[in-house]
Structure 1
């Protein structure tokens, strides 16, 4: 090392200069204190900087946390109040009352369709007479059931069957030969809550549900739309300002209810089907018939009034005695030649209906809503599209039994049949055709009995 005073080179770690005697110890101590001062200054400045940074961060944190803590405190107070409410009977009652006032989305006036159908089916009935089948629904809690007049025309006592298959006796207490409506009293249904009626006109586009027993298929529901208003026409009855619908209905649906698809209220009585286009049906608006139905319910027609409305009687009624008195002078509307020709003509049309798979060829020769009507319609529907072939080779009328209210035409029939697999067979049948006359005097088949 060199002496800072004279520049003489000395040995390492010498304490004094060998030339001039300068002390190295004081120089090293002075340098050490100077270095120590620099370090202390640096540490002091660093501490001040760190302190300032940390203080600023703490202040920011305090500023941010203050509202959060207030919110937490508020929440805590609410929780404490709620906990207190659960232990206080008075507060609990008040809270329950408040909750009941808040409407729930499920308490809307609109109902689920499955719920509507399920509830309504318990109050829709299949109506049976000796030669017809239709539908009806509970109108009032006194056991009054609404149906179509054409379903029960000519009958006083009828049978009703509910969705569980239980049968009940009913009595017609109101019927019109102008409007296609009738009212049945059912003692077993007294005290049962009826379906709710819609007392104003529905709008085009309303979604609807038709219930009944189409083709004898009980408890059937179909969904569609109200497609027209104010439709008027005449057939056997006068239909004025009725609803047009596209919901699927068929013979047997007559008298069943038409429901609003959202509220479940009855808006109509399913009554007629356009035979040329089965996608179009008609329903009598219930609000137009309510006064008439209510009047019958409050002041029932007597049996004589009911029976005389269509000028023929239920054999089981109290008018059997009157009918017996008239039997001697009764003009039988049947003769053997015309009956035989009617049945032979029907068989020819039936062969065409089978070939073309078209029920329309025989529909006019069958009594509407009768057992024969349903069976023929269902059979043609079942074999449709299967490629079956029928060839009638013999159709002889063997006997005719003319009775007061019907004629039974017996036949012996032979036909060849090819099934869907292309296999041919020959069949022989003995059949009884039960024939009645309608209000116009035309022959109609109401039932066919087959003997193998």
Structure 2
């Protein structure tokens, strides 16, 4: 090999030039590092190329496989911008932005959750009270008109309505029929309130239904069942033609309450009658068949004379006055079982209110003055006053009625939850006999209450 510096020929594998002493080892090392650098550079470039190729392939695959997700993501970004704009703009409400974010399917827009249906409807369903009866009703129009059954308010012009919060308000009957079991009440306090939505076509057999009202005086009760028959007709005090048959639980006190479609929440009927031989069968008047009549009363109310004369109420009062003048004894009114049952159920509802508000006045006019029941009830309400006890009635069934010449005995089975002054809860069951008589005006009054533990 030759020296690169002086050109002298040296032996192979010499480490230094024999002439000038130049080092061959440093040159070889430099060449080795140079070769190493070339190799590393090649490997680095190869890695970059492979990485770029794989990344591009993955991006292409993602674009092909998930266009829907990409579009949805882009849509969400646009919707988020709309929502932010709606929040900051005084002219666009939050409700609008929510609607733009999610457009419900046709099924979602017409069907509601049952809890929601019941909760919304109960704010427009009322307990209706007269001196001797208790029923239910619901808001028909925003002018404060309430629908109920004619048999609930028959013989009365002024009635009391109680809402789900126990708030009472006065109402006046402005429409009533002695042919169809429907009536209309005007309530000044409800003017401007939004009514329940009505179903204006016939419902189908198998429709899930919700019956609302105050069965047995248990206010704000909802029962669920099905529409089991159409075009049922039968004769009674009123003319029931082409009515709905349902298996939802309906009891005395439910009369006049709304029957709702279990999916849409619309009123499809007016709960009206119970087949006494089979309490699992009840009937409801289709609302679409009565809408014209109810609307006519709402727009052109009957006057008081027309309402009263529908059931010859004034004539009955006049006849009684003449009879009362001739007789010194107490007017002997026949004890009607249906009226007696309603009277006791109504009393129980008023008694619950009296306990809650610690006010004897709620039941005083249903008790025979200066009787044993009158004094016992007055003393008991006075004893518990201020102790913050709570009574929640859960069951009140009239089990038997024994009508006698001078009195009637109405037997009941009652269940209630009770919280004492110490805050301890208990469940009580009671069997009671209510001894009912009539006063000089022919009104039912309770003179004694026998309680069996």
TM-score, normalisation: structure 1: 0.55
Give the drift of 1:99: 3.7
Tell me, in whole angstroms, the C-alpha distance in 1 between the residues paired with 2:426 and 2:31. Answer: 133
CA contact (8 A) 2:330 2:439 kept: no
Change (3 A) 1:381 1:402: same
Alignment length, in residue pairs?
452
Q: 1:299: how far off?
A: 1.1
Q: Which moved more, 1:271-280 or 1:423-432?
A: 423-432
Note the C-alpha offset of 1:304: 1.3
Contact 1:145 1:186 in 2 (8 A): yes
Q: Which segment drifts farther, 430-439 or 186-195? A: 430-439
Runs of 4+ aligned structure 1 residues displaced above 6 Å come to: 1-98, 314-452
d(CA) in 1 for partners of 2:339, 2:240: 33
Q: Kindly tell me: are residues 213 and 245 of structure 1, through their superposed partners in 2, closer, same or farther at Cα, counting changes over 3 Å?
A: same
- Greater mean deviation of Cα atoms: 390-399 or 427-436: 390-399
C-alpha deviation, 1:43, in angstroms: 18
2:218–2:349 contact (8 Å) kept in structure 1: no
Q: Indicate the structure (1 or 2) with the bigger Cα radius of gyration.
A: 1
Q: Deviations over 1:187-244 (max 9, x none)?
A: 1001101100001100001110000001111000011110000000011111000000
Distance in 2 of aligned mates of 1:414 and 1:234: 35
Post-superposition offset of 1:108: 1.6
More moved, 304-313 vs 375-384? 375-384
Given the superposition, is the C-alpha separation of residues 436 and 280 from structure 1 closer, same or farther in structure 2, using an over 3 Å criterion?
Answer: farther
Taking the aligned partners of 2:153 and 2:293, their CA distance within structure 1 comes to: 17
**CA spacing shift, 1:74–1:115, aligned 2, 3 Å:** closer
Q: Distance in 1 between matches of 2:160 and 2:417?
A: 40
Contact 2:134 2:345 in 1 (8 A): no
Report if aligned partners of 1:400, 1:408 keep a CA contact under 8 Å in 2: yes
Superposition map of 1:225-304 within 5 A: 225-304=226-305
Q: Which moved more, 1:380-389 or 1:162-171?
A: 380-389
Q: 1:292 to 1:194 in 2, by over 3 A?
A: same
Contact 2:133 2:339 in 1 (8 A): no
Report the Cα offset of residue 305 of structure 1: 1.4
Contact 2:87 2:94 in 1 (8 A): no
**Could you state the TM-score of these two structures normalised by the residue count of structure 2?**
0.55
Task: Indicate the SS of the match to 2:331.
Answer: coil
Measured in 1, the distance between the counterparts of 2:264 and 2:76 equals: 45
User: Is the 8 Å Cα contact of residues 251 and 374 (structure 1) preserved in structure 2?
Assistant: no
Provide the rounded CA distance (Å) in 2 between the counterparts of 1:170 and 1:3. 127
The more displaced of 114-123 and 335-344 is 335-344
Distance 1:356 1:96 in 2: 45
Range that drifts further, 2-11 or 86-95: 2-11
In structure 2, the residue matched to 1:8 is 8
CA contact (8 A) 1:134 1:369 kept: no
- Contact 2:134-2:343 within 8 A present in 1 as well: no
